[in-house]
């Protein structure tokens, strides 16, 4: 059995990644979504082990030192990281894995696992993004300001990704995402060994 593929999805804060990923998993359940660890405060409605594993700074630093992360990054004053073990387990079992991570972490994955597939979700316009960030109402003013600055910088990294999807209509974005996964699964190198007619 061939190993699973790692899909990395990024996009600026406020682009609607969370909604896209949720929509994707509802329609396409054969992919494992990695749950990250973070030092940021839990937002209202979020749950431990579902949205994130919430860690103290020291605990997070210990995990870094023990090599427990596949990648990690500091983003807007907080730490975020992908726990290595569950991802490796899924890939070894032939299951595809999805990482929803920011750009520095994605670039780290690109360096260490270049065979992964990188998808960038872009907003239709910059204004769209600003409106969404301000309208979310989950963060104080200074946090929003930092996220807006970071988002503008992040847009410049789109060219590093294999695919870009403009998130105009969520349903369409999800469809595009599924098309990418489907095409990747149909690649000769991935399916030739299982091809009945060649056995």
> Which region among 25-33, 54-62, 101-109, 165-173 touches ligand 5GP (by CB under 6 A)?
101-109
Contacts 24+ apart (CB under 8 A), 178-182: 178/24, 178/27, 178/28, 180/117, 180/119, 181/7, 181/28, 181/31, 181/96
- The interface with ligand 5GP within residues 105-124 (CB under 6 A) comprises 105
Per-position x/- string for 61-80, each x denoting binding to ligand 5GP as judged by CB under 6 A, each - no binding: ----------x-x-x----x
Q: What helix, strand, coil percent values describe the chain, rounded to 5?
A: 45, 20, 30
Query: What does the DSSP assignment read for 66-132?
Result: TT-EEEEEEETTEEEEEEHHHHHHHHHTT-EEEEE--HHHHHHHHHH-TTSEEEEEE-S-HHHHHHH
Torsion of CA 161, 14, 81, 48, to 10 degrees: -140
Told to check if 102 binds ligand 5GP by CB under 6 A, we report yes
Q: Which is nearer to ligand 5GP, 52 or 186 (CB)?
A: 52
Number of CB atoms found within 10 A of residue 42's CB: 12
Smallest separation (angstroms) from ligand 5GP to the CB of 70: 8
Q: Which is nearer to ligand 5GP, 156 or 186 (CB)?
A: 156
Q: Which is nearer to ligand 5GP, 105 or 123 (CB)?
A: 105
Residue nearest to ligand 5GP (CB): 105
Q: What is the rounded distance in angstroms from the CA atom of residue 96 to the CA atom of residue 184?
A: 11
Please state at what angle helix 17-27 crosses helix 170-185, rounded to 10 degrees: 60
Smallest separation (angstroms) from ligand 5GP to the CB of 131: 16
Smallest separation (angstroms) from ligand 5GP to the CB of 46: 8
What stretch of H or E contains 6? strand 6-10
- The interface with ligand 5GP within residues 32-61 (CB under 6 A) comprises 36, 40
- The interface with ligand 5GP within residues 8-27 (CB under 6 A) comprises 13
Told to check if 167 binds ligand 5GP by CB under 6 A, we report no
Q: Which is nearer to ligand 5GP, 9 or 181 (CB)?
A: 9
Q: Which is nearer to ligand 5GP, 135 or 191 (CB)?
A: 135
Residues interacting with ligand 5GP, by CB under 6 A? 13, 36, 40, 71, 73, 75, 80-82, 100-102, 105
């Amino acid at each position: 059995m061939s190993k699973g593929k790692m899909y990395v999805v990024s996009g600026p804060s406020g682009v609607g990644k969370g909604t896209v990923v949720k929509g994707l998993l509802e329609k396409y359940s054969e992919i494992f979504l990695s749950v990250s660890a973070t030092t940021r405060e839990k937002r209202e409605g979020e749950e431990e082990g579902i949205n994130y594993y919430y860690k103290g700074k020291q605990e997070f630093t210990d995990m870094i030192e023990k090599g427990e992360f596949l990648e990690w990054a500091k983003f807007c004053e907080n730490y975020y990281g992908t726990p290595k073990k569950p991802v490796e387990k899924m890939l070894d079992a032939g299951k595809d894995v999805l990482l929803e991570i920011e750009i520095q972490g994605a670039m780290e994955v690109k360096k260490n696992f270049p065979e992964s597939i990188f998808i960038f979700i872009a907003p239709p316009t910059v204004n769209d993004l600003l409106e969404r960030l301000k309208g979310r109402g989950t963060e104080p003013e200074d946090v929003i300001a930092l996220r807006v600055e970071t988002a503008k910088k992040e847009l410049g990294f789109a060219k590093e990704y294999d695919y870009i999807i403009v998130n105009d209509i969520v349903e369409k974005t999800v469809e595009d995402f599924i098309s990418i996964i489907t095409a990747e699964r149909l690649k000769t190198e991935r399916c030739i060994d299982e091809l009945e007619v060649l056995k």
